Structure 1
Amino acid sequence: MIQNFFKIAWRSLLKNKGFTAINILGLAIGMAAAILILLWVHSELTYDRMYKKTDQLYLLGNKDKWNDETAVWFATPKPLATALKSKFPEIKNVTRMNSAEGFLFTVGEKKITPGSGLFVDTCFLDMFDLKAISGNAQQALRNPTEIVLTATLAENLFGTTDIVGKSVKVDSADVFTVGAVLEDMPSNSSLKNTKFFLPWRYMEKIGLSDESWGNNSVFTFIEVDPHTDIASLGHKIKDFSKKESEFNTAENVLKPLKEYWLYSKYENGKVVGGRIDTVNVFSIVAGLILLIACINFMNLSTAQSDKRAREVGVRKVVGARKSTLIMQFLAESVLIATIAGVLALIFVQLSVTDYSNLVDRKLSIAFLDVRFWLFFIGFILSTGILAGSYPAFFLSSFKPINVLKSKLFQRTSKISARKVLVVSQFSIAVVLIISTLVMKKQIQYGQDRESGYDKDRLIYVHDQGQISSKFTLIKQALLEQGIASSITRTMSPLTQRWSNSGSFYWDGKEEGNSAVFNRSTADDKLVETTGFTLVAGRDFDLATYPTDSSAAILNESAAKAMGFDEPIGKVIKDLGRDWHVIGVIKDFVQESPFEAVNPLVIEGAHAWMKTTHIKFAKNLNTREALAKTEKIFKAFNPDYPFEYTFIDEEYARKFDESQKTGKLASLFAGLTIFISCLGLFGLSAYMAESRIKEIGIRKVLGASVFSLTRLLSAEFLLLILLACIIAFPIAFWMMDSYLTKFTYRIGIGPEIFLVAGATALLITVITVSYQSIKAAIANPVDSLRDE
């Protein structure tokens, strides 16, 4: 029976090759788009969930009141980890994690800068259960002179991964033994860019660690016993930092590691979403694209109902039951869905590499995984049944007496299911068009925001090797040779925040005020080098004012948060030192360009610094300035490559994530429109064919090509206009909710809806006009000739 269903279905498809091709192509594109989105969604939902102990790993954070709002953040002070481990038996392991960059690795004659690494405590690799290619990852790093490499870095250094026990010289000073080689980190892991791991004790040895409870600068992870009552543990550690340090007023909070990536947005101390919002949106988009493809199938199938009506009538007369006819038509739709599914897999395989680059995630189809094939078979069946359900019930409901008497198409209503489906799919398409336009406008709004500094001709260089010890000589050479107009040393690049604290104190600070301030540092000529705008006071100037080494510059938000009407001369206490305020600068964008600027204290030369900012002279072109700068750095730091970053490029990277989302929205909105237009093209072709005699008569009676084209197109244009009317309020509600995530955001103006509506109408005209004009210019003699 089933074999017979599919045999008849195959013959039916071959009779209508044009409509079959449109159905298959539309479904294939819709299914391919849905599969691509679901690959990304799966990658997001499994982010940081591949570790064996994922359910036992928690990230430690802080929660505190600031300006009547509760803030939550997950940078912690360095001494917190060891203090926790000694006080709570429920905590099996604790590890800190801090960035380790700027090192030079030497093996024989080969010298490379390996990229991003991490300083971690000895139990880190055991907690995260990272897979080792060679060596014992759980035991590695217990020796303070051991290092752990990833496979790619091992290959680059040694040409093989079988290197356990071999030596690597770090920074031309310290020799480490390779304790293990790990598989490269998964792309859906927070560790994805990590190339090596160094023991925390080495960080202490080179002076990068501290015991300050007021310096939130590292991540702290804990591993709990599987039977631990997390709510009880959370209550126990709530006030731990307050008890350990008079400088720390924040509460400690626990966050499951597996939730951190997806649920990281907080409002007034409570989780309100995060990346999970984007995941949910694109999951809905996947469903909508597939639904539109299925609507195409429904429309084209029911449009051909007159061709199948007599078949249904004859079958019923000879005894076919309605259930049998339904099964027959569902078999046709499943067959089409199967062909489309295979074609969709080909589309996905051809595009997955470029798509992976777009979403910055390594994606692939697990062809060898049985679970994928079970999902794929279910995907095809559900798509086929969804697409074929309405046509099956519609076609099988014909009454034989009406069909055989040609009374099938007596119309009783201006509203038909086909019109509803066309309006529905174009409503979805218009919503996606508007969403894409709003996203792009929001991104552009952020890009047009005044950054607060002069990005032109400004680079930064992280400390490597002897840069710190030879900085005075490097600076002198750059200035004397006219390469740089000014130079300043800072803790971090202008575009990054590496430290914050709630332990700042000043005269007049109210009791209970636990406001968190960003912390940065600078030695000399900060304002001159960066192009900051001074609101009050002056720049750091160590040559004229040697005491500027203990001075501070505030941004406007910090001065306001401290309640200073006249900030110049005020004293701020931080990390056991007094800092006297010498200047106030306008707020500048250090973190997200879509959010409000946080209060910032920039401390003078007595503070810790690791980054050099160089402003090139105007009379040199950039290539020449870089070549001369590299020569100077190589002269004073010969073992290390000259590595630099332009501030404008670093600033542009702040928009990477939002731009990826915008590109994805554009891609899938475009596919939605294309699929909708395929259906519209097929419907207009059927409409023109079914009214061919009417068109012939009208031409004989003198109708022009223009009037006939307008007649044939008008119905579709009215449907699209109705779709716009339905889509506009839905899109406004959705995008207004989307924009509430941003402090610095656009308004939704009427021009966006006008552009979206005009685009939909123009696309409809172009799609329908071809078939309408073709029918209008046909010779009426051919259409009116007797059969």
Structure 2
Amino acid sequence: MFRNYLKTAWRNLLRNQSTAIINIGGLSLGMAVALIIGLWIGDELSFDHYHQHYNQVAKVMQSRTNNGVTSTGDMEPLPLANTLRTTYGSNFKYVVLASGTWQHILSIGDKHLTMNGSYMQAEIPDMLTLQMISGTRAALKDPSSVLLTETSAKALFGNVDATGKILRLDNKMTVKVGGVFHDLPSNTTFSNLAFIAAWDLYKIADPNLVKSGGDWGNNSYTLYVQLQDGADMDNVSALIKEAKLRNVDAESAKLKPVIFLHPMSKWHLYAEFKNGLNTGGAITYVWLFGIIGIFVLLLACINFMNLSTARSEKRAREVGVRKAVGSLRGQLILQFYTESVLLALLSFGLSLVLVEFALPHFNHVADKSLIILWQSPVFWLTGCVFSFFTGILAGSYPALYLSGFKPAKVLKGTFRAGKMAAMPRQVLVVVQFCVSIVLIIGTLVIFRQVRYSQEREVGYNRAGLLAMEMYSPAIHSHFAAFRNDMLNSGAVIDVAESGSPTTNIYNTVGGLKWSGKDPNLNDEFAMVGASMQYGKTVGWTLSQGRDFSAAFASDSSAVILNEAAVSYMNLKKPVGQTIDWWGRKYQVVGVVRNLVMQSPYEPVKQSIFFINKDAGNFLNIRLNPKQDLPAALKSVANVWKNHVPEEPFDFKFADQEYQKKFAMEQKIGTLASLFTGLAILISCLGLFGMAVFMAEQRSKEIGVRKVLGASVLNLWLLLCRDFLVLIVIALLIAAPVAAFIMHGWLEHYSYHVGLSVWLFGLTAAGALAITMLTVSYQSIKAALANPVRSLRSE
């Protein structure tokens, strides 16, 4: 019997090829979108699962409350590690200190490569369950050793086993390769880690590390823990919450520091904290794209339902005859389900082809490495089940509707699918376009928000500004000579050192005093130490006072405030004011406009700029705009190699680094626009199929109207009117829904665009235009048809 169902289903597909093509095309597009989103969601949900103990590993974090606002960070004081080991040691299997992950120079002979690395304590390979190729996980117990990834080992030593080889780290330490481990997958927090250096090496790299041994106020280190087997994450987190509060002085205790554990299973998807509470993070986009995938697939299913029920009169006689010869309704339902499942399986096969072609582009946009798991039985089983349920979903309404026809009415010729029969199809079309319109408005809002923030005044000139990280104090030790050679090259206008790049702030400080300060204020400022030429180099704008100048010897104790700091300190006349910074007096000599150095979506943090005589971490180089860029970069590279030949010439453009701050929103906007386009295409396929059916169904009416003198324009409006009414209804429903959703999304940003009326007007015009273009071809074709052909049988 089932074989007969398949035969009948296949013959019906061949008999109605245009409908089948539209259905298979729409369903395959919907399934392709759902598959790609499913692969992406699977990759996101499996983040960090590579590490076997990911449910037991956590990052130690702390929240501090300052002036009623609670902020959360993942940097801890050095002595906290020892406190966790000694006071709470029974709860932890490992407690591991780590530096930040940043670029270092690894050298062998004349080869100097820049790679991301971190200093970590010896237990980290076991905590992360690194898969060793050579050497052992215990290698970091040797205080002069490093572990390399497979890729970095090959870059340095080729195909030779790197274990036991000698390297230079940052041109100041000789280290031994203790082992090589497999590259970590892209969906791990540590995927950008090229090497791990022994923690004891950090003491050589940063002399301040020894001084920080008992300093509870220096929050500069990352702390990872792995719980003992059977320990509960929440209970241990509650147990250690006062581990810092019990050890800090009275001034620091005012910030009420709370220590807690953030599980590895939440690092990627639940990384956002607001006012001390975990408010989510990337999980929002997982839900967002999951919902989009469901709705896009639903649009394709709606097309199938609409076209199947629209052709109900053609299938009515078949149903009537089969019922008259004894078929039960259940058998008819099974027949129609077989047709829809067969169509879904064909669509699934086509969707796999589409996904295979689309994945390279999607991976580029989404920064992923997704592949179809062709050899995985689980994938094929999931795909078949997915196709089956898609077929059931798409065929449910047509099966129940068509199987319910009364054979007596059908065979007497009195059956007519009246106006009420079209109501469900009209509702489904409205639902289709409601989804599409919401997606259109959402995509436009995302791109507007990104554009709005990109055009924000940043307070300095990004064009032609290079940022170079200094890996050693070599440049600083003869900075004046280096700067002179740069200026004499003609390729550079000015050069300055700084402790932070223009696109970030690395240091904050509190405990400052000034005239009129509120005694209850727990102050916190961003601190940027720089050389004298910093302001001229970055191109900031003074609003009051003057810039730093070598003509004033007193500028070694001078500071410049940004406008946010002046407002924060409530200074009426800031220039000339004295600031007490931990017992040392500093005089305000100028005020600059706010520099957007952190998030472009948030208010600028109150900042203080001062002259730092110690080595900076960054070089800021202002290129000469009158010189050709390639020639200027070549000149800068030559000067660099003359002064530090052992360091690679690695530079970044400040404007490109600033654009990276919009990467997530741009990525989401691009993906949303892609899925929105496919949703619109699927909806248009359905509209086109409906237009074909309506033109065919009303062919005699059109013929009569033409004979009676109706023009092509009249007939075109007649056929388009019904669709336009449905789109207007969809607009009225979708607009407030989209406004509500996007208003909530924008509220995540302090600095955001508003929801303009023109945005909804543009969407409405676009939706109407798309509808008219979709149905006009078939409408005009029907209007131009010779009425003799449709009326000759009457």
2:489–2:635 CA contact under 8 A, matched in 1: no
Match of 1:47?
47
After superposition, the Cα gap between the structure-2 partners of 1:555 and 1:572, relative to the gap in structure 1 and judged at 3 Å, is farther
2:114–2:648 CA contact under 8 A, matched in 1: no
Deviates more, 1:626-635 or 1:124-133: 124-133
Amino acid at match of 1:343: L
After superposition, the Cα gap between the structure-2 partners of 1:753 and 1:719, relative to the gap in structure 1 and judged at 3 Å, is same
Match of 1:468?
476
Cα distance in 1 between the residues matched to 2:524 and 2:601: 19
Match of 1:159?
158
Identity of aligned residues (%): 39
SS in 2 for 1:413: helix
Match of 2:12?
12
Cα distance in 1 between the residues matched to 2:373 and 2:519: 58
Amino acid at match of 1:147: V
Match of 1:25?
25
Cα distance in 2 between the residues matched to 1:731 and 1:636: 58
Cα distance in 1 between the residues matched to 2:559 and 2:195: 36
Match of 2:276?
269
Q: Residue 245 in 1 paired to residue 252 in 2?
A: no
Q: Residue 491 in 1 paired to residue 496 in 2?
A: no
1:534–1:583 CA contact under 8 A, matched in 2: yes
Q: Residue 175 in 1 paired to residue 174 in 2?
A: yes
Cα distance in 1 between the residues matched to 2:83 and 2:639: 45
Cα distance in 1 between the residues matched to 2:742 and 2:466: 37
Q: CA RMSD in A?
A: 2.2
Question: Post-superposition shift, 1:692?
Answer: 1.3
Deviates more, 1:113-122 or 1:674-683: 113-122
Amino acid at match of 1:627: K
Match of 1:299?
306
Amino acid at match of 1:777: L
Cα distance in 2 between the residues matched to 1:512 and 1:79: 28
1:102–1:463 CA contact under 8 A, matched in 2: no
Q: Residue 344 in 1 paired to residue 351 in 2?
A: yes
2:103–2:117 CA contact under 8 A, matched in 1: no
Cα distance in 2 between the residues matched to 1:538 and 1:82: 47
Amino acid at match of 1:220: L
Q: Residue 91 in 1 paired to residue 98 in 2?
A: no
SS in 2 for 1:115: strand
Match of 2:703?
696
Match of 2:439?
432
SS in 1 for 2:278: strand
Task: Map 1:202-601; keep pairs closer than 5 Å.
Answer: 202-207=201-206, 209-210=208-209, 211=212, 212-246=215-249, 248=252, 249=255, 250-409=257-416, 411=418, 413=420, 416-465=423-472, 466-502=474-510, 513-541=521-549, 543-567=550-574, 568-573=576-581, 579-601=586-608
Cα distance in 2 between the residues matched to 1:471 and 1:245: 39
Amino acid at match of 1:105: L
Cα distance in 2 between the residues matched to 1:226 and 1:555: 51
Question: Post-superposition shift, 1:187?
Answer: 1.3
Amino acid at match of 1:39: L
Match of 1:107?
108
Cα distance in 2 between the residues matched to 1:761 and 1:161: 65
Number of matched pairs:
783
SS in 1 for 2:603: coil
Give CA deviations for 1:389-426 in whole Å, capped at 9, x if unaligned: 00000100111011112222252638610100011101
Q: 1:657 aligns with which of 649, 658, 664?
A: 664
Give CA deviations for 1:182-210 in whole Å, capped at 9, x if unaligned: 22222112212221111222122022653
2:35–2:355 CA contact under 8 A, matched in 1: yes
Which structure 2 residue ranges, 5 or more long, are not aligned?
A: none
After superposition, the Cα gap between the structure-2 partners of 1:579 and 1:408, relative to the gap in structure 1 and judged at 3 Å, is farther
Cα distance in 1 between the residues matched to 2:81 and 2:496: 34
Cα distance in 2 between the residues matched to 1:333 and 1:534: 70
SS in 1 for 2:475: coil
Question: Post-superposition shift, 1:374?
Answer: 2.5
SS in 1 for 2:245: helix
After superposition, the Cα gap between the structure-2 partners of 1:536 and 1:88, relative to the gap in structure 1 and judged at 3 Å, is farther
Question: Post-superposition shift, 1:545?
Answer: 3.4
Cα distance in 1 between the residues matched to 2:101 and 2:665: 27
SS in 2 for 1:497: coil
Normalising to structure 1: TM-score of the pair?
0.95
Match of 2:609?
602
2:106–2:115 CA contact under 8 A, matched in 1: no
Question: Post-superposition shift, 1:778?
Answer: 1.2
2:63–2:258 CA contact under 8 A, matched in 1: yes
Cα distance in 2 between the residues matched to 1:501 and 1:334: 65
Question: Post-superposition shift, 1:578?
Answer: 5.8
Deviates more, 1:89-98 or 1:721-730: 89-98
SS in 2 for 1:593: coil
Question: Post-superposition shift, 1:571?
Answer: 2.5
Deviates more, 1:4-13 or 1:364-373: 364-373
Normalising to structure 2: TM-score of the pair?
0.94
Give CA deviations for 1:211-236 in whole Å, capped at 9, x if unaligned: 15434333221222132244443333
Deviates more, 1:325-334 or 1:644-653: 644-653
Cα distance in 2 between the residues matched to 1:502 and 1:260: 28
Cα distance in 1 between the residues matched to 2:218 and 2:491: 36
2:81–2:97 CA contact under 8 A, matched in 1: yes
Give CA deviations for 1:641-678 in whole Å, capped at 9, x if unaligned: 21111111111111111100110110010000000000
Question: Post-superposition shift, 1:689?
Answer: 1.0
1:445–1:746 CA contact under 8 A, matched in 2: yes
After superposition, the Cα gap between the structure-2 partners of 1:578 and 1:238, relative to the gap in structure 1 and judged at 3 Å, is farther
Give CA deviations for 1:320-339 in whole Å, capped at 9, x if unaligned: 11111111101110001001
Cα distance in 1 between the residues matched to 2:654 and 2:518: 38
Question: Post-superposition shift, 1:172?
Answer: 4.1
SS in 2 for 1:141: helix
Question: Post-superposition shift, 1:49?
Answer: 3.2
